[in-house]
Amino acid sequence: MYQDRIVLTSRDILEKDFKIDTRGYRPQEVDRFLDMIIKDYDEMTSIISELESDKKELLDDNLRLKKELRNLRSKLELATTNDSQGATGVNADLLRRLSNLEKIIYGKE
């Protein structure tokens, strides 16, 4: 993904041979190579900054989603508990009414 933005590899730097002139290395060639190294390291720093920013956003999103999931689970648990308690309460109320109706109809107390 980011490989096309970086020109040099560590092997390129390691294996770079400068041509030796009568006075030593050609300064222009060394300068061009060092300029490429500087550009690559600047690009690498930029890439790292982008990735760190992306990572922070993803971690924040992950934390927000975990909180949302916890809230939804607790709401679901509460709703499930209320439904089961509500059904029991409704059943008890229905049984009480049925018992009262039986007493009225059959005259039993």
Question: At residue 59, does pLDDT exceed 90?
Answer: yes
pLDDT score of 107? 73
Mean pLDDT over residues 61-84, rounded?
Answer: 84
Higher pLDDT, 4 or 109: 4
Which pLDDT tens digit goes with each residue over 84-98?
A: 665 566 677 777 777
SS3 annotation, the chain? CCHHHCCCCHHHHHHCCCCEECCEECHHHHHHHHHHHHHHHHHHHHHHHHHHHHHHHHHHHHHHHHHHHHHHHHHHHHHHHHHHHHHHHHHHHHHHHHHHHHHHHHCCC
